[in-house]
Amino acid sequence: MPFDDLPLLDTDRLEALLQAVGADALGALANRFGPSVDADLDRIRRGSSTDDRPLVAEAAHSLKGLAVTFGASRLQAVARALQMGADGSADLTSLVAEMEDAAASTKGAVVPTVASLGAATGSSPKD
């Protein structure tokens, strides 16, 4: 797939976020990442199935912002492409499939990556 060469996560971005907000806050944000992605994906699917391009563009924009926050490079690029495609006349089917793949991979990587960064810096939350 065209976006597979991009990294899932920019660990430098996550480390900067860890330093800015602390391990507890970043852990809480990471735990909400998956449900937030799922909510935007649901809107993208709904918009795509009804050819509601403004809804697809809006949800892709929201997902792009979330991806930027977490340094989710691949998800950000796919969301940007989907947003631009929805604003035009592009066939959204392949872009939505790319989004599904990027979202699934990224959702599976965020929490463990955040946990390992916190552990590596000695900032992980104590049980």
pLDDT score for 117:
87
What is the structure's pLDDT at 25?
93
What local confidence, expressed as pLDDT, does residue 125 receive?
45
List domains and CATH numbers for the chain: 11-119 (1.20.120)
Q: What is the 3-state secondary structure (H, E, C) of the chain?
A: CCCCCCCCCCHHHHHHHHHHHCHHHHHHHHHHHHHHHHHHHHHHHHHHHCCCHHHHHHHHHHHHHHHHHHCCHHHHHHHHHHHHHHHCCCCCHHHHHHHHHHHHHHHHHHHHHHHHHHHHCCCCCCC
What's the predicted TM-score (pTM) here? Answer: 0.87
- Residue 1: its pLDDT value, please? 60
Q: Which residues of the chain have pLDDT under 50?
A: 124-127
